Structure 1
Amino acid sequence: MTVQDPNVVATSGAGSASENARTGQVVRSVESPADGVTVVAATGEIDMLTAPELRADVLSRLDDGSTLVLDLSGVSFLGSAGLAVLVEASQHAKRRGTAFRVVAVKRAVIRPLAATGLGEVFSVYGSVAEALAADGGGSSVG
Structure 2
Amino acid sequence: MEVTIKDFDEITILEVKGNIDSKTAPEFERNAKLATDKSEKIGLELSQVEFMSSAGLRVLLMIYRNIKAQNGRVVLIGVSEEIQDVMSTTGFINFFTIVETLDEALTVLKQA
TM-score, normalising length from structure 2? 0.87
Aligned pairs, number: 110
Residues 75, 99 of structure 2: 8 Å contact kept: yes
Within 5 Å, give how 1:83-102 maps onto structure 2. 83-102=57-76
The structure whose RCO (Cα within 8 Å, separation 6+) is larger is 2
Show structure 1 runs of 5+ residues with no match: 1-25, 137-142
Identity %: 26
Q: Which residue of 2 aligns with 1:30?
A: 5
> Secondary structure at the residue paired with 1:109?
helix
Which runs of structure 1 show a deviation greater than 6 angstroms over 4 or more consecutive aligned residues? none
Show structure 2 runs of 5+ residues with no match: none
Q: CA–CA distance in 2 between the matches of 1:113 and 1:126?
A: 16
Bigger Rg over Cα: 1
Q: Please identify which structure carries the higher helix content.
A: 2
1:124 pairs, out of 92, 98, 104, with 98
Q: Which residue of 2 aligns with 1:20?
A: none
Within 5 Å, give how 1:12-27 maps onto structure 2. 26-27=1-2
Kindly report the root-mean-square deviation, in angstroms, between the aligned alpha carbons of the 2 structures.
1.5
